[in-house]
Chain A
Amino acid sequence: MGCHLSKRSKLIPGYEKPTVLAAETPFTVSEVEALHELFKKLSSSIINDGLIHKEEFQLALFRNRNKRNLFADRIFDLFDVKRNGAIDFGEFIRSLGVFHPNASTDDKVAFAFRLYDLRQTGYIEREELKEMVLALLHESDLVLPDDVVEVIVDKTFNDADLKGDSRIDPVEWKEFVSKNPSLIKNMTLPYLKDITLAFPSFVLNSEVEDSDV
């Protein structure tokens, strides 16, 4: 039975052994296996091909496969490290690792920076910040006049853009986060520490015993 299961698992694209993933992320082997159960659920919700597609991601986040959202798009793109349009198991585990409570603050700060650097220029430009504020207001059904939005963006930008060059670089971002630690609060998912409680079925399917054969 163990052999049968491991054969099936290797058909999952981007499958990497739990021991390897555990060694390279803050997760334990058990946590990786529990997340494997979650991954299987998410990646089979629309197309059963062992990959999380954008619509499956949207379905999981919003209970609506067609819901478009700027921030969900950014998360999806960052998780899709190989940039091939879908998230495979390895990418899923490695990206989620940054959200583990034990992941380093530096990793979280860097991930958040890349998240907000919409056009991946290496800087968060003023226009990008404004675009994100507008996206949030639209999403929340909060309508504000443009000059008010400008004031919101200006104030934050002036606090963060220490060099005054209309863009926030990684160093300025790190400094800004150290002054406002709540900015990376959503870069930590405390629930990841309890993940093995949510998916106990892995206990029966554990591949840890199928050591390098």
Chain B
Amino acid sequence: MQSPVYYALVNPNLSILMNMCFIFQRITIPEIMKDEWFKKNYKPPVFYEKEDADLDDVQALFKDSEEYRVTEKKEEQQPTAMNAFELISMSRGLKLDNLFDVEQGFKRETRFTSKCPANEIISKIVKAAKPLGFDIHKKNYKMRLENVKAGRKGNLNVATEIFQVAPSLHMVEVRKAKGDTLEFHMFCKNLSSSLEDVVWKTEEDMQETK
């Protein structure tokens, strides 16, 4: 089959590449990215996060420093206690963003309460996240879940942390650390259906206007 005439006016390498796209089997994106024509002057996109996600604590957690390891040992017994004022600050009456009544898009973090022991919560999250294609890094009651496959804005990274409100009540925070917010939203939906027997109240349950 003859290439259309206009291809002849273009860089022959591009022409060959385009033929491969349309004529032979459909070339894949990764294959295109390996092609010489494509690689010329190519700069991979860097995805900037608009919001200021505070990643300091997440980064610090996974830094392999000796001194950090030593102090962590002491805290291995219990999850961090949730301060009463932190608990109070979750009230819907203090969420003045609602005055603006704006479509603020999908949430970048969520939380749920659980009556299960902290270790059980951890293992259930691990069990739920692994089949979804996530790598798990764990340090005490904090975890970093990373999607092995890159998504729309790089690899989705999720940070989770368990707080103890009372011996029988834990608060689990699930936060997007990196990546596409919609993918994070889908991840949370999948996670919550796998964690049905662990979750006591979701954030929606707690914020329902009675």
Residue ranges of A at the interface with B (Cβ–Cβ < 8 Å): 38, 42, 60-64, 67, 69-75, 96, 99, 116, 129, 132-133, 135-136, 139-142, 144, 148-149, 151-153, 155-157, 159-160, 176, 180, 182-183, 185-186, 189-191, 195, 198
Contacts and interface: CB of A to CB of B under 8 A. Distances in A.
A59 to B, nearest CB: 10
17 contacts: A42-B99, A61-B96, A70-B93, A72-B93, A74-B93, A75-B93, A75-B94, A140-B90, A140-B205, A141-B206, A149-B166, A155-B81, A157-B84, A180-B85, A183-B85, A185-B89, A190-B52
A152 B87 contact: yes
B92 interface: yes
* Chain B interface helix/strand/loop/mixed: mixed
Nearest to A155: B81
Interface of B: 51-52, 81, 83-102, 104, 113, 165-169, 201, 205-210
B91 A139 contact: yes
A148 B101 contact: no
A136 B99 contact: no
Given A186-B94, A198-B102, A148 B88 contact: no
A129 B205 contact: no
B112 to A, nearest CB: 11
Given A159-B83, A186-B89, A140 B206 contact: yes
Contacts of A139: 91-93, 206
Contact of A153 (B84, B102, B209): B84
- At the interface, is chain A mostly helix, strand, loop or mixed? helix
A189 B102 CA distance: 13
B90 A62 contact: no
A176 B83 CA distance: 11
Given A71-B94, A136-B90, A140-B90, A156 B206 contact: no
A156 B113 contact: no
B167 A148 contact: yes
Given A132-B88, A133-B88, A186-B94, 14 more contacts: A61-B93, A63-B209, A69-B91, A75-B93, A75-B96, A133-B87, A139-B206, A148-B167, A149-B166, A156-B85, A176-B85, A191-B100, A191-B102, A191-B104
Contacts of B210: 141
Given A38-B99, A142-B201, A156 B84 contact: yes
B168 A60 contact: no
Given A61-B92, A139-B92, A183-B86, A38 B100 contact: yes
B96 A189 contact: yes
B149 to A, nearest CB: 31
**Which one of A74, A135, A176, A186 has the greatest number of beta carbons of chain B within 10 Å?**
A186
A180 B81 CA distance: 12
Contacts of A99: 96
A187 B86 CA distance: 12
A182 B206 CA distance: 20
Nearest to A179: B83
A71 B95 CA distance: 10
A98 B66 CA distance: 41
Contacts of A153: 84
A156 B93 contact: no
Nearest to A71: B93
A11 to B, nearest CB: 23
B208 to A, nearest CB: 7
Contact of B169 (A62, A144, A183): A144
A94 to B, nearest CB: 14
